[in-house]
């Protein structure tokens, strides 16, 4: 496995690989890798000749007052996890190379970025699509893997790749959970022991909504009340949103069906966590 920090070097490795007829898969990450990332890397390893993992805490997707400075970072540990998963290249550019003085080009996906995290975190998706477009231009992957925990992000990136004819296949991978149900996230590192317990209200709420949906309840009003009740019972939980959307269009629905995305964002103490499920899926 090789660590590459230079954009030019990564680009010339990718160009040479393509020239030699090799396929490239990219797993974009912000590092502090966990089992969710490892599942993307393991899948990526199977899908192409060359597996690239990018590690870059992207400043443009953090708003003022968000956790850019405190976002957990541990490149050495990440390298061990990546190596064990069979990564060929870690691409870890410097922010000053990705966004040099004079930088002024951004990619913006419109409607899909308005609700949910786009409403709570203005500018967030503009930063995500911009950096992912740049990573695609640098690593030149044939396909790229993203976790479904960031469901809206995956939807937005699919739209961008299609709209801008990027020629990159976007693959969404299932959420990986701890044994007790908590969705894996680098931000779980912020939680105290007590907050870690409280954070289970997200997966518990999704689980209950799915159970009641399976017993034939279709009213979103009823399902939402159920989720709100479970989360609000946790004193340290503050709801950002509990939404029922169509999984493809990200527009609100009143009657639930197998394509309904249940999306949650909840603050546990100072930590903002997201989780989701699609009612028709396991
Ligand atoms: O999901 C993430 O970790 C980031 O948003 C991504 C896709 C790596 C872009 O910085």
150, 156, 185, 276: which to mutate for ligand 1, most atoms within 8 A of CB? 150
How far does residue 37's CA lie from ligand 1's centre (Å)?
11
Domain ranges of the chain: 2-173, 186-274
pLDDT the model gives residue 282: 78
Ligand 1 atom index nearest CA of 54: 8
Nearest by Cα to 242 from 263, 219, 273, 221: 263
Q: For 186-274, CATH number?
A: 3.30.1300.10
Contacts of 11 (CB under 8 A, 6+ apart): 137, 138, 140
The rounded distance, in Å, linking the Cα atoms of 38 and 57 is 18
Which residue's CA lies nearest to atom 2 of ligand 1? 29
Q: Residue 128: its pLDDT value, please?
A: 98
Cβ atoms of 146 and 153 within 8 Å: the answer is yes
Candidate list 37, 124, 142, 207, residue with the active-site label: 37
pLDDT along the chain (282 residues), means of 10: 98 98 99 98 98 98 96 98 98 98 98 98 98 99 98 98 98 98 97 98 98 98 98 98 98 98 98 98 86
Domain 2-173 classification at class level: alpha beta
pLDDT of residue 197: 98
Backbone torsion region of residue 246, taken as left when φ is above 0, otherwise alpha when ψ lies between -120 and 50, otherwise beta:
beta
| Whole-number Å distance between alpha carbons of 84 and 93 | 21
* 45-71 burial: b if 16+ Cβ within 10 Å, else e: eeebebbbbbbbbbebbbeeeeeeeeb
What is the distance in A from the centroid of ligand 1 to the CA of 243?
22
The set of protein residues with a Cβ atom below 6 angstroms from ligand 1 is: 28-30, 58, 61, 128, 131-132, 150, 153
- Taking the alpha carbons of 89, 92, 96, 100 in that order, is the dihedral positive or negative? positive
34 annotated active-site:
no
Residue 175 · residue 183 · CB < 8 Å:
yes
Nearest Cα residue to 231 out of 273, 192, 177, 191:
273
For residue 157, which atom of ligand 1 is closest to its CA? 7
């Amino acid at each position: 496995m090789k660590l590459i920090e230079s954009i030019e070097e990564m680009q010339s490795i990718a160009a040479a690989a393509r020239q030699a007829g090799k396929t490239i898969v990219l797993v974009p990450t912000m590092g502090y890798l966990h089992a969710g990332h490892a599942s993307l890397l393991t899948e990526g390893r199977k899908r192409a000749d060359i597996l690239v993992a990018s590690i870059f805490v992207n400043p443009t997707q953090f708003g003022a007052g968000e956790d850019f400075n405190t976002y957990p970072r541990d490149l050495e540990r990440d390298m061990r996890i990546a190596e064990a998963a069979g990564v060929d290249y870690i691409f870890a550019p410097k922010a000053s190379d990705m966004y040099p003085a004079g930088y002024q080009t951004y990619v913006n996906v419109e409607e899909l970025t308005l609700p949910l995290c786009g409403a709570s975190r203005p500018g967030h998706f503009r930063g995500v699509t911009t950096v992912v477009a740049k990573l695609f231009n640098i690593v030149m992957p044939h396909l790229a893997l993203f976790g479904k925990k960031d469901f809206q992000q995956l939807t937005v990136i699919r739209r961008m790749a299609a709209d801008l004819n990027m020629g990159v296949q976007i693959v969404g991978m299932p959420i990986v959970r701890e044994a007790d149900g908590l969705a894996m996230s680098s931000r779980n590192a912020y939680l105290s022991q007590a907050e870690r317990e409280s954070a289970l209200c997200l997966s518990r709420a999704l689980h209950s909504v799915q159970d009641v949906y399976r017993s034939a309840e279709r009213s979103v009003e009823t399902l939402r009340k159920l989720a709100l009740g479970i989360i609000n019972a946790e004193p340290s939980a503050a709801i950002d949103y509990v939404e029922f959307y169509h999984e493809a269009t990200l527009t609100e629905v009143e009657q639930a069906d197998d394509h309904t995305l249940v999306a949650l964002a909840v603050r546990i103490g100072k930590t903002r966590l997201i989780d989701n499920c699609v009612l028709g899926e396991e």
